[in-house]
Chain A
Amino acid sequence: MARLKKKYTEGASRTYTTRNRALKKLQLTLADFRRLCILKGIYPVEPHSRKRANRGSTRLTTFYYTKDIQLLVSEPLIAKFRQHKIFLRKLQHALGKRDYTRAQTLDENRPEYTLNHLVIERYPAFADALRDLDDALCMVFLFATMPTVSRVTKEKVDECKRLSTEFMHYVIHTHALRKVFLSIKGIYYQAEIQGQSITWIVPYQFSQQVPTDVDFRVMATFLQFYQTLLGFVNYRLFTAVNLTYPPRLDQALEDNAAGLGSLRIESRRVEDMLEAARSGDDDGSNGASDDEAGNAPSHDAKAVKARMGSLEAKMQAIVAADSAAPAYEAVGGDASGGDEDALQAADLLFDKQVVYLSREVPRYSLEFAIRALGGRVGWDRSSGGGSPYTENDQAITVQIADRPVQGHQFLSRTYVQPQWVYDSINARRLLDTTDYLVGQQLPPHLSPFVEYAEGDYVPEEASRIAAAAAGFEGEVTNLKPEDRDQHNSEDEAVADDVDGESADEDEAPEEDEEAAAGVEKQYQKQLLAERAGVTFSEYQQKQDDKPAAAISKTRGGMPKRTKAQLEEEDRERIAISMLSKKKRKVVNRARADTYKRSKDLNTMKTRKAEATKAAASAAKPGARK
């Protein structure tokens, strides 16, 4: 007789392990385990059969892959956690004994760990890291605006500020910003970096309320990893475009709340290094050795200018000799991939603009957005130091203001509201400023992230922008609100009842079959009438006695169906009846979905109509006065 096989020795019960079993195996506390899972990116999984995975028990538990847990066993971080635990115990002991010198020594030698190995482990390729950068950016940008409280130390906030500013500098430098959206939650940005779309949200710059129902330990653990990740990503991004990393921090400007300007972005291109080598030994040792220790001291605007003048001829020879090195044209003008052609006109939207920001507009966002699209920005002194332009500068072409009443207005520049900048970025062309002038009622701000599928509701503005982008200006095929208004006024006599009717329809949406039954009934009625000898015209008249019902049929979204359509519907239903149960479910769901979408579409259309009507009626009495 064959040996009896033991239960639960293979299959799902081996593939998965419960959290408690994992804790036991790793000899960790739950808190440490969670921290480890966060840092290592290990997540619970849902087995196909919970019962089989949990050895026949159906209790609610969390499952992990056994192999993931196996991987954790050899994690050096666990040893670090234990060291830290012992360190804490020693420190407590020393403090309890009032042995402060010992406590101080302990504290000086406190065990530290880095997460560098985890970054490379979780993201073996740089593209993987970029793909997963969204959450990291959101978190770092959030903590950069956090107030320092007990759980959020100043060092953390400063580090986040620095990392986020570096990343923004990269986006500015490579003109990678694609979309911006002003939401009620914050400002969404989308940048395209090395072919990946990276989206992040930045809260409006108010002091963040530190909520009590949030476990900051969890957030801090995530942040710890994200900071490491973003640091390495920044390094890679900066060096990829030949910038020194880390950029130098200008403390004076930083203290003056210069924001983006407080970091000195420096090039480390070939000619710079050659120049450094040429200029002398003192510089040469530095410049050749490493990037970040680098050529900082020799960087003055003056020196650069002088160098550019003198090196013009030399460069040609060098470039010719070193064919691998790409040619650059100007200091700051080098592109991400090195090819200038990749930069389209839309990426340098504000290239010729000098924008001045009034003090009431969010500088932190506008400066970034405008500079990322090639513009130059100046701002009021009250919103931070380091502005390259004053308000009186004649070079300024656009001033962004958000106050309805302005003091002195320069005739040489346009005064627009901030939304113009964002809408222009999303439309990828400079929009007409007439709609956005200061004091104007702004057009709606639409999300650039929405992609319209067949049968979706497209807001009027979106279709207008799309039409404008396609090349023809003016009339859009959509029904203009004026037309609709006229149409409404024409059948105003009957429209009074309409609202009630449509509301009824909304409350009791007709099921597909019920609708069919209704149509069938009507058809039967027609047949009966025909048999009774009623002529079609008479029958029609009788129907007209109930105009509201007829209008609701036509206006409620479901147009009156012809006989052919009815037959088609019949056939469809018959075909559905031929399907297997499984497929029928799918089809029915799809049909219900379609129905819901069409219903939503109708709701949006009616709302739009109502809104335009209300706006028109609001405008009329004003005109009379």
Chain B
Amino acid sequence: MPAKRKVSAPKRSAERCDAPADAADEFPKSRGIDVPSDPEESDLEDEDAVDSDFDAALREMAADQGFDSDDSETFAAEIDADADEGEGPEDADDDENEEGSDIHSSDIDGASSDDSLDGEADSEEADSDGDEGEESPLVRTASRSTDGQQTAVGDDGGDDKLGSELLDGEGMERLTIEDFGRDITAWKEYRKTLPQIDPGYASDSSTEEPANTIGNVPIEWYADYPHIGYDIDGKRIMRPATSDELDKFLANMDDPDVFRTARDETNQQDIKLSEEEIDIIRRIQGGLVPDAEFNQYEDTVEWFTSQTMKTSLSGAQPHKRGFVPSKWEHKRMMKIVRAIRQGRITRSAPKDTAPKYYDLWADSDRSAEAGGATTGGRRQRLAAPKQALPSHEESYHPPAEYLPTEEEKRKWLAADPDYRQRNFLPQDFGSLRTVPGYDRFVQERFQRCLDLYLAPRMRKKTTQLDAEELMPKLPDPRDLRPFPSTESLVYEGHTGRVRSISVDPTGLWLLSGSDDGTVRLWELVTGRCAQVWNLKETVYRVAWCPNAEVCVFAAAAGSRVVLVIPPELCDDQKRLVSEELVRAGFGRTGGGDDDGDDDSLPVSWDMPTSAEQAAGVQVSISMHRTAKSVAWHRRGDYMATLTSEEGGSAVLIHQVSKHKSQRPFRRLKGAVQHVKFHPTRPWLLVTTQRYVRIYNLMQQALVKTLQPGVKWISSVDVHPQGDNVILGSYDKKLSWFDLDLSVKPYRSIRYHTQAIRQVQFSSRFPLFATASDDGTIQVYHGMVYEDLNQNPLIVPLKILRGHEIRNSLGVLDCLFHPIQPWLLSSGADGTIRLWT
């Protein structure tokens, strides 16, 4: 019979799967156990099953007993096994598992039926002790009862025992329904005498003691009520009376089972745990399988083994695909085959065994021998510059003087790495073993790599010019003597700035005009002041008449120009000639211009006062504005004056012998700085702020305009030969013009550190000088050659220093001696100096 069951197990599970879930839940075991029975009996069974499950079970049992009384043990075991598989929480689980997978469920079934086999064997021994030993934990749990009912249960158990004892011990045979035949009532009577059978799990769970069914309601909700939950009639289930704490305590002290008692709040009962239950708890706590009997390491049952069974478990034929070669594999193979045929897949080329390095330049050597070009006509590459080689400071043990000071170190550390002059800090490690690794080595190599491929290259022509080579090849100044080089005399006496000086044509006398309103006459070689004229106004200009026959000078003081014949200076002969020249004009009536526009000229020729006449002042020419400049024509008859007047009337030309004045320009552009007669030609040089205009007085036309390109011209002088002009400016520049060449300067020289006040040629020697506000006088050699192809030679010769700077004014005027190579200069310090 067990073997039969075993075989039927998978079949049953299959049935179950087929059956609807609720139907299967009803009474699995009635269909599960394949109990052979009469059709009659089964009818009865069906009939009773409708009435009561319990009766059905009972009848079944009775039927079993009736058929197989020898197998009573087997029957009991079967019941147990059924209980194993039967209803209850575990069973539901089983069902779920079964639905999950067939194999698994069959496995479980198998296992449980094995259990049942074991149980059978056990029951044979334990029959005399009752069925307690065989009870599975689940059965035990079901038979567990509350405290109150314990006795009842115990009674049941006792009855049970009693029953079984009665049956076994007395050997009295239990009657079956068959024995009664048709007498149903008798059977019923008899049945009443039979002991009660513990239904266990074979019966419905409704047979159990009704528990309080409050559901999931938390028990605290009933804390304030005298009852807990409701019974089936809606009546309150009252709380049982509770003893006070002391009683509880005493009860606990008395009760030896207090440690195994737990409180069921829902039912308000104390539950006493059995030994097995405690054992289960212990096992759970210890992380073991709760069931003590469960063997985790059972022998494997090979349901599906490699060993071929005589008869297979299933009758299904093996699938065809197990014998037929794979189509897809074939496809893939064909793909490869095709690729090989088409040559897409080739055998990997044999590894190159040729030497890695060989004589790469063999061919180039041959072509070089043949004289072929190596570059192949390509652009010449710019080779990257090599890295600079290290100097002493990079040494691990440099000389002490190459080590940086503390401050240099600090500066180096503070500086941005890109702006450091060196990328390392010189250091002295006394010996080689103390030298550490250089931590920026890789970075520096990397930087070099970046330079090689990212830095633009450019062929840069650097002129390795020696400064000495660039210096102009100037002749030695010592070869260009004579020129003034030392200060030899100082004329002191003026109390204001000496604005102007002039030397008489004989070279013996020196005139000076100053801000203190005086004109002084000096004996040039001794420095004696011969005479003083007090003109009471600033003397801007003094100028000897260049005519050597006469002895007259003009002085511009304030708004008038006076003509003076110094009385002590000349002999009678000369005096007569001079006086004739100067005073002849007074005889002429009108004294003005022939043109008839006399009135419009801002000039009047006056007789000076008698006191002045006594001092030698012969004529006074009054103007409307301050007279700034006086320039004599080389013949000594004409004289040009410049006033601060605006327009054409600023420049006037006077004829001394006739006391006649004329205005050469109706209009003049710009503020006129200077006027000067050309030494050889009938030209007048009018200097405005930016330009020098040269007019031809005979033709009354503009000859040319010199454009020095300076901001403010201060002074002009013309070379005695007349072809070259020098020009000084307040912006420190000296310009040399060659009139034959261009209207732009031939040479501009900037040496002075302050404005140039005066430029002067020497009339006799190839010299010229510039006087400046920086207190110096610069003497140059300025040679003009007869050969027109040869450019003038300009050589700076000497810087003369001596004048003091007052109110940022230095040397105001300078002048070459007409005969000697001497220079005279006057300054803002009120002195006049002679340089020889």
Q: Contact residues of A with B, CB < 8 Å?
A: 34, 37-38, 41, 43-46, 62-63, 65, 67-68, 71, 108-109, 116, 119-120, 124-126, 129, 131-132, 134-135, 138-139, 142, 181-186, 188, 199, 203-204, 206-211, 213-215, 218-219, 222, 231-232, 234-236, 239, 245-246, 290, 292, 360-362, 402-403, 417-419, 441-442, 444-447, 449-450, 457, 459-461, 520, 524, 570-579, 583, 586-587, 590-591, 594, 604, 607-608, 611, 615
Contacts and interface: CB of A to CB of B under 8 A. Distances in A.
Interface in B393-413: 394-402
A103 to B, nearest CB: 15
Contact of B446 (A116, A219, A572): A219
Nearest to B477: A571
B467 interface: yes
B289 interface: no
B432 A362 contact: yes
B630 to A, nearest CB: 33
B172 to A, nearest CB: 79
Interface in B772-816: 778, 794, 796-799, 801
Given A125-B368, A520-B801, A184 B395 contact: yes
A43 B452 contact: yes
20 contacts: A43-B456, A46-B456, A125-B361, A139-B449, A182-B397, A184-B435, A185-B441, A204-B437, A206-B437, A208-B441, A218-B449, A234-B357, A235-B360, A402-B431, A417-B431, A441-B430, A445-B395, A445-B397, A587-B467, A590-B466
B263 interface: no
Contacts of B750: 577
Nearest to B797: A574
A417 B397 contact: no
Question: Top 6 A-B pairs ranked by shortest CB distance?
Answer: A206-B437, A574-B796, A590-B467, A611-B400, A449-B389, A46-B458
Given A578-B472, A579-B471, A185 B444 contact: yes
Interface string B461-472: 001011100111
Contacts of A183: 390, 394-396
B375 interface: yes
Contacts of A44: 454-457
B751 interface: yes
B346 to A, nearest CB: 9
Given A210-B442, A211-B442, A573-B751, 13 more contacts: A43-B453, A65-B379, A68-B379, A124-B376, A134-B387, A181-B394, A232-B361, A361-B433, A446-B395, A570-B798, A583-B470, A590-B465, A590-B467
A215 B454 CA distance: 14
A232 B359 CA distance: 7
A45 B395 CA distance: 35
B610 interface: no
Contacts of B796: 571, 574-575, 577-578
Interface string B549-585: 0000000000000000000000000000000000000
A447 B391 contact: yes
A447 B390 contact: yes
A236 B217 CA distance: 99
A215 B799 CA distance: 64
Contact of A124 (B374, B455, B463): B374
Given A34-B453, A208-B442, A419 B432 contact: yes
B401 A611 contact: yes
Interface residues of B, number: 84
B452 A222 contact: yes
B286 interface: no
Contacts of B357: 231-232, 234-235, 245-246
Given A45-B458, A184-B429, A185-B444, A524 B801 contact: yes
A77 to B, nearest CB: 15
Contacts of A188: 389-390
B432 A586 contact: no
A459 B463 CA distance: 30
A279 B398 CA distance: 59
Nearest to A450: B391
B450 interface: yes
B283 interface: no
Between B379, B382, B442, B457, the greatest number of chain A beta carbons within 10 A of the residue's beta carbon is seen for B442
Contact of B360 (A236, A290, A608): A236
A286 B375 CA distance: 38
Nearest to B437: A206
A62 B456 contact: yes
B399 A126 contact: no
B395 A186 contact: no
A203 B426 CA distance: 17
Between A65, A185, A234, the greatest number of chain B beta carbons within 10 A of the residue's beta carbon is seen for A185
Nearest to A122: B381
Contacts of B471: 572, 575-576, 579, 587
